[in-house]
Amino acid sequence: MKSVKYILLISILLLGIVFLATLPGTMRKSKTEESTTASASSQTSEQSSVSLNTSVADGSSAIVVGGEPESSASSSSGGGDAAVDKNEWAFFLINQTHPLPDNYTFERKAVQGKFEMDARCADYMINMLADAKKAGVNLNIVSAYRSVEYQQTLLDNDTKKYEKQGYSHEEAVKMASQAVAIPGQSEHNAGICADILEAGSYSLTEDFEKTDEFKWLSENAAKYGFILRYPKGKEKITGIEYEPWHYRFVGPYYAQKIKDSGLCLEEYYEKEKGTN
């Protein structure tokens, strides 16, 4: 019996010695695995952080959507006409064959003194006047928005002038309407144009084309969305005599294209819209 007890005791002692001998290695292995897991996790986190920071740095306010950087800058500027504000609302004809609808309404805003324009294009005019002044050019608006009733008064006055010269009423109206549009057929009634002269002048004559103000407008008006509406040599197409003082808003996009084309609005509109 004693020999059995000794054998059991010796076995227990041997197992204890083996356990103690293998314990440090087991602990080292566990710590190594924990360290490796933590390192991998840290590396993944750092890579994710670097990836996000790179996207923001390279993408100019980039927004990460579905793992792909989508630049808000690229969606709002450059790269085609889709991002350009064409002011489509202002690209239409008003003339003898394209009168304003009876229910045409819009908000007005003052652009210089008492003169008002459609609020949607008023700031373009205000900026143009201000920038011209900075360049030493003083532009003076002598007419902008007109009510249909006031337009009729102007037409009647011109008609009477020709009647006094011996023309019949029909002839007088026809001649008057080449300078003053029929009410409802005038761009002034829509608030999208202005008659502009040099400061201190109120005489609407072709002599305006000899001024520094006309030169500045010829070079810069398109940048602000305005075109010379009734150019020289296009009288038969526009139905209106040459008016170097009359500037019409169509927006910078179309203004530059019309200027570069050498066409009047009727010609360009027909080309663009395919109207007859």
Length of the chain: 276
Beta strand residue intervals within the chain, DSSP E: 62-65, 68-71, 108-112, 115-118, 139-143, 193-198, 226-230, 243-249
Distances (CA, A) of 49 to 38, 71, 143: 17, 18, 61
- Active-site residue 243, yes or no? yes
- Give the list of residues 6+ apart from residue 75 with CB closer than 8 angstroms, or none: 83
Catalytic residue among 187, 243, 270, 272: 243
Distances (CA, A) of 218 to 2, 81, 228, 247, 260: 124, 25, 8, 10, 12
74 CB-contact burial (10 Å; exposed 0-12 / middle 13-18 / buried 19+): middle
User: Which residues, listed in sequence order, are joined to residue 247 by a DSSP beta bridge?
Assistant: 194, 228
* C-beta atoms surrounding 166 within 10 Å: 8
User: Is 133 strand, coil or helix?
Assistant: helix
Catalytic machinery residues: 243
